[in-house]
Amino acid sequence: MSIKNGGVVVQIALCDDNLNFLVQMEKHLHTLSQIKSVSAFSTLESFLLSVEEGAQYDAVLLDIHWNQTQNGMDVAKQLLRLSPRTQIIYVTGYGDRFAQQIFLQESNLSGYLIKPVDPTLLLSNLEKVAKTNATAPPMVTILSQGKPITLSVDEILYTESQGHTVLIHTTEEVISAYRRLDDIERLLPNGFFRCHKSYLVNLRQIRRIQQPDLLLKSGHKVPVSRARYAETKAAYLKFIGQSF
């Protein structure tokens, strides 16, 4: 069995308190060549801890009913905040008992499977995850105040260096990270440019270049140094040319 269209689901998390199901499903997932990694968890706490420590999953096969104070739907809400790109495929042995609840809750829901899991339906769900990932913007994880924060690169407007701290200005907030700007620059994908020794700008966010500033679509102004003005302008024109 394989995932169509060359889609690759890089990393899967599997969460279930039924150890027999956990072992059998993990074995089955390893037979799918496009899945590079499977991480199995028998408790919700261990799964959440892995996410809080920076682990990134493209999808999680998540049991709904647990003999704990939390259930799978509670974890799904937390996951939307901790790792918004991780898609959730619910797995349950309770038929459609939870169907209405899960479709009303706020989560990154991708699928719903009933035990015993039909391999064909499982594969269809994973193909859906792969297709979504193929069109999604890249994500980066920043460690801020000891906690990982995962962002879409489209959310980042610009970053600025202030001493030993980098401030990451996003569409929603400003995130501080105890890193050098050089480290952040290496972390970010193509589409960001060092317009000033203390600033990195997201080229897709620029509205106009007019020295001494870059005017962003958000209304923010980002300094561009005289020495880097020509390079910044050339990088921007090249980038927008590639975008069309």
Q: Record the pTM.
A: 0.64
pLDDT for res 132: 82
Tokens matching residue 164: 């030993």
Fold for 4-135, please state it.
Rossmann fold (3.40.50)
Cα three-residue angle 34-243-153, rounded to 5 degrees: 60
Fold for 139-243, please state it.
OB fold (Dihydrolipoamide Acetyltransferase, E2P) (2.40.50)
**Which residue spans of the chain are classified as CATH 2.40.50.1020?**
139-243
Nearest to 58 by CA among 88, 82, 32: 88
- Tens of pLDDT, residue by residue, the chain (244 residues): 434 444 566 789 999 999 999 999 999 999 987 788 999 999 999 999 998 887 889 999 999 988 777 888 889 888 888 888 899 999 988 766 666 666 556 667 888 899 999 999 999 999 888 888 777 777 788 888 887 788 888 899 999 999 889 999 999 899 999 989 999 998 888 899 999 999 999 999 999 998 899 999 999 999 999 999 999 999 999 888 765 4
pLDDT for res 84: 81
Contact 131, 7 (CB under 8 A): yes
DSSP, collapsed to helix, strand or coil, labels residue 129 as helix
**Which residue spans of the chain are classified as CATH 3.40.50.2300?**
4-135
pLDDT for res 243: 54
